[in-house]
Chains A and B, each alone.
Chain A
Amino acid sequence: MNALGYLSQLLEIFLALLLAPLLSGWINQWRAWLQNKSAPSLFQPYRKLHKLFNKDLVLAEHASSLYRITPYVVFGCMALACAIIPSLSTDLPLSPAADAIALVGLFALARVFISLAAMDVGTAFGTLGARREMLIGFLAEPALLMVLFSASLLSKSTSLTTIVDTLAHRDLAIYPSLAFAGVAFTMVSLAENARIPVDNPATHLELTMIHEALILEYSGRHLALLEWASSLKLFAYSCAGLALFFPWGIADALSPLALLLALPMLILKLALGGALLALLESVSAKMRIFRVPEFLATAFLLAVIGMLVNILLGV
Chain B
Amino acid sequence: MSAFITQFINLLAAILLMLAFAMLSQRRILSLIYLYTLQGATLVAATAIVGFVTHQPHLYFSAAITLVLKVLLIPMLLHRVIDRLNVRWDVETLINIPTTMLMGIVLVMFSFYLAQPISQMSATIARGTLGIALACVLLSFMMMITRSKAVPQVIGFLSMENGLFFAATAATYGMPMVVELGIALDVLVGILILGVFMFHIREQFDSLDIRHLEKLKED
Contacts and interface: CB of A to CB of B under 8 A. Distances in A.
B128 A180 contact: no
Interface string B101-114: 11011001100100
B124 interface: no
B96 A294 contact: yes
B41 to A, nearest CB: 15
Interface stretch (B13-21, B80-88, B183-191): B13-21
A174 interface: yes
A294 B97 contact: yes
A180 B98 CA distance: 16
Contacts of A298: 25, 97-98, 101
A312 B131 contact: yes
A135 interface: no
Contacts of B131: 312
Contact of B10 (A172, A174, A305): A174
B139 to A, nearest CB: 11
Contacts of A130: none
Given A176-B11, A315-B10, A302 B18 contact: yes
A196 B15 CA distance: 25
A302 B128 contact: no
A174 B8 CA distance: 7
A305 B21 contact: yes
Contact of B105 (A173, A305, A314): A305
B54 interface: no
Given A176-B11, A314-B128, A309 B101 contact: no
Contacts, number: 69
Interface in A203-225: none
Interface in A153-209: 172-177, 179-180, 183
Given A312-B128, A313-B128, A301 B98 contact: yes
Contacts of A176: 7, 10-11, 13-15
Contacts of B132: 309, 312
Contacts of B104: 301
Interface in B52-107: 96-98, 101-102, 104-105
Contacts of A309: 14, 17, 132
Interface in A292-315: 293-294, 297-298, 301-302, 304-305, 308-309, 312-315
Given A308-B109, A312-B128, A301 B102 contact: yes
Interface residues of A, number: 23
Given A176-B13, A180-B14, A183-B18, A315 B7 contact: yes
Contacts of A180: 14, 18
Contacts of A313: 10, 13-14, 128-129
Interface string B7-51: 110110111011001000100000000000000000000000000
B111 to A, nearest CB: 10
A315 B132 CA distance: 14
A54 B169 CA distance: 67
Contacts of A315: 7, 10
Contacts of A183: 18
A309 B11 CA distance: 10
Contacts of A179: 11, 14-15, 18
18 contacts: A174-B7, A174-B8, A176-B7, A176-B13, A176-B14, A183-B18, A293-B98, A294-B96, A294-B98, A301-B102, A305-B21, A308-B105, A308-B108, A312-B131, A312-B132, A313-B14, A313-B129, A315-B7
Given A174-B4, A179-B15, A312-B132, 17 more contacts: A173-B4, A174-B11, A176-B10, A176-B11, A176-B13, A179-B14, A180-B14, A297-B97, A301-B21, A301-B104, A305-B108, A308-B109, A312-B128, A312-B131, A313-B14, A313-B128, A315-B7
